Amino acid sequence: MANRFMTGTTCSGGQVLTFVASDNGVSVNDFFQLGDGRCIQITSTGATTEGAVTVNLAIEFASCAACLAPYSANTAQSIPIYLNSSLSQGTATASTYNPPNPVWLDNQHHAVVQLNAVTIGGNGLNS
């Protein structure tokens, strides 16, 4: 398996990158997350080289939007809220509240939203 000169454009910011990557059937208009977490679209592939790989194409995606979207873990929780004013009138009107969820980065620096947890306080535990 040879390495190949490639050019890609970052999905956020449009920065042009020139690099050497492993040629695993990569073609123009493929989307990848790099080992450092950036998402790129391959814009050109060049000649093969015996040179060392300078960029790891970690995960392939269907589009820039799919690469940039955060992953989620578990199932989202909605909290039902019953208003005192509606209870005193004899009817219970429920509203729902979707609390803020903590976000962390995986080992490829991709955001993961922890849907079964709640972010606590602005200047508290998550600061």
Distances (CA, A) of 46 to 7, 22, 87, 94, 96: 8, 12, 70, 60, 54
> pLDDT for 77-103, tens place per residue?
667 776 665 555 666 667 777 777 777
> pLDDT for 12-42, tens place per residue?
889 999 999 988 888 899 999 887 888 999 9
pTM beyond 0.75:
no
DSSP codes joined into one string, 15-37: -EEEEEEE-SS--TT-EEEETTS
Structure confidence at residue 127 (pLDDT): 47
In the chain, domain spans: 3-65, 71-114
As to burial, measured by CB atoms within 10 angstroms (0-12 exposed, 13-18 middle, 19+ buried), residue 40 is buried
Structure confidence at residue 88 (pLDDT): 59
Share of the chain above pLDDT 70, in %: 77
